[in-house]
């Protein structure tokens, strides 16, 4: 069975750096992480584009937007009523710290992930994405593609996010950039391998899959 560090090196060798998250600012990352919940990136991207056109993704403009108007702007992402409330909740929380991400990380320290999970609408996957891509933390993000890959590699506990996360310890020398790349590589491998009819370029892992 491949260890995480071996898997990471193989993916990186074959696929190269992924340069994730696809965004121009941390606010865009935060909004994208919320909008993509329970939908695909295309639908989330439409919502982000609508938000950009109407608010320039300026957090105070979003906070000053009426809830009903915000819901309409992000309707393409689905579950838009809940997501609009989550957006306002997290932006209000961030605003308490003047959007000083380093200051927030310093304030909460090791309790930051727990504090994110206490915000209504922020689940484990979204919290981990924010930890890695916004707060420069080191977390394993076992999203749906990652769980499918690890299942094929013979790991147990892949049926639930928290179960696989509990089983995986990232290498002690992992940096934030490593955590970033590992998630991006796994996600992009999964999209290509499981969804593409022509996935020949992504068969390099198959020799490690449990038959």
Q: What is the pLDDT of residues 95-107, one digit of tens each?
A: 999 999 999 999 9
Task: Kindly tell me if the per-residue pLDDT of 206 is higher than 90.
Answer: yes
pLDDT digits over 36-85, tens only?
Answer: 999 999 999 999 999 999 999 999 999 999 999 999 999 999 999 999 99
For residue 104, how many C-alpha atoms fall within 13 Å in the half-sphere facing its CB? Answer: 22
Helix (H, G, I), strand (E, B) or coil at 196: coil
Burial of 36: CB neighbours in 10 Å, binned 0-12, 13-18, 19+: buried
Q: Which two tokens stand for residue 167?
A: 């089983």
Instruction: Give the residue-averaged pLDDT of 111-125.
Output: 98
What does the pLDDT read at residue 30? 98
Helix (H, G, I), strand (E, B) or coil at 114: helix
Domain-wise residue ranges, the chain = 4-19+140-207, 26-135
Task: Kindly tell me if the per-residue pLDDT of 201 is higher than 90.
Answer: no
E strand segments, the chain: none
Domain 26-135 -> CATH class: mainly alpha
Q: Are 166 and 158 in contact (CB under 8 A)?
A: no
């Amino acid at each position: 069975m491949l260890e995480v560090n071996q898997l990471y090196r193989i993916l990186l060798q074959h696929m190269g750096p992924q340069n994730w998250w696809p965004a121009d600012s941390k606010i865009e990352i935060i909004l994208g992480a919320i909008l993509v919940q329970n939908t695909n990136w295309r639908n989330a991207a439409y919502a982000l584009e609508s938000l950009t056109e109407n608010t320039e993704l300026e957090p105070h403009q979003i906070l000053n937007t009426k809830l009903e108007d915000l819901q309409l702007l992000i309707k393409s992402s689905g579950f838009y009523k809940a997501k609009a409330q989550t957006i306002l909740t997290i932006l209000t929380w961030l605003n308490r710290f003047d959007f000083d991400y380093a200051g927030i990380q310093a304030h909460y320290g090791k309790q930051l992930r727990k504090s994110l999970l206490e915000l209504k609408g922020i689940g484990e996957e979204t919290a981990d994405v924010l930890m890695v891509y916004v707060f420069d933390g080191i977390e394993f993000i076992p999203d749906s593609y990652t769980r499918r890959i690890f299942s094929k590699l013979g790991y147990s506990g892949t049926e639930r996010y928290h179960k696989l996360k509990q089983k995986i310890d990232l290498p002690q020398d992992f940096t934030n950039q490593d955590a970033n790349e590992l998630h991006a590589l796994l996600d992009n491998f999964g999209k290509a391998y499981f969804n593409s009819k022509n996935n020949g370029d992504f068969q390099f892992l198959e020799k490690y899959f449990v038959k």
